[in-house]
Homo-oligomer: A and B are copies of this chain.
Amino acid sequence: MTHKRDREATRARLLECARLRFARDGYDGTSVRDVAGDVGVDPALVFRYFGSKSKLFTEAMATSSAPVVLPDGPVDELPAKLLRQLVFEDWAEYAGEHPLIAMLRSASHDDMRDRVRQQVCDGYLGVLQELADGNEDADLRTELFAAWLLGIGILRTAVGTPTLAKATEADIAPHLAAVGEALFGRPIPVPEVPT
């Protein structure tokens, strides 16, 4: 029965609470004292463990027990999987929203902006690109589709538009198929929604 004082456990709890705060209130809206208070620990400990608020943010966004993993599988099913992950998955560790959308709350800082762009470009645009193969303007079509998914997520949670906020995956699925086909010129199957 060792460790009531457990460095790694405390560190992990700090990261967990930091994730929630940063996702919900943004970088500026979250103080180190807030995070430390959630854990019930002295604020100075945060600096001992992470060095600075900025490094705490970086590590909190990078590490998660439910990490963001890009979907794979047949290309035709990617749009539906991305919709599910970006819009409908309940990212409990990030206050309910997808980490990317949560991170946009802190995007008034240039380095956060860069981080979001890099994540979008290197991640989501890459897996979508295959869908646009064979079309001219393939890159543009890809980004336009990504813009749609991102916009849906933002309108749903960050803005809180009435109909979209209540919409289910099954409600949106047929329109996903229609828009996907319009952009990529190939049939996009309606995802199976678990009932």
Please give the residue numbers on chain A whose beta carbons come within 8 Å of chain B beta carbons, in ascending order: 25-26, 28-29, 104-105, 107-109, 113, 116-117, 120-121, 125, 137, 139-144, 146-152, 154-155, 158-164, 167, 171-172, 175, 178-179, 181-183
Select which of B29, B113, B121, B150 is within 8 A of A151 by beta carbon: B150
Bound CA–CA A167/B137 (angstroms): 10
Bound CA–CA A187/B159 (angstroms): 29
Main SS of the interface on chain A?
helix
Task: Give the nearest-CB partner of A185 in chain B.
Answer: B178
Question: Contact at A26–B150, with CB atoms within 8 Å?
Answer: no
Smallest CB-CB A-B distances: 3 pairs: A151-B151, A26-B108, A147-B151
What residues of chain B lie closer than 8 Å to A105, measured between beta carbons? 107-108
Task: Give the nearest-CB partner of A163 in chain B.
Answer: B139
Question: Contact at A143–B164, with CB atoms within 8 Å?
Answer: yes
Q: Give min CB distance, A30 to chain B, whole Å.
A: 9
Bound CA–CA A49/B25 (angstroms): 30
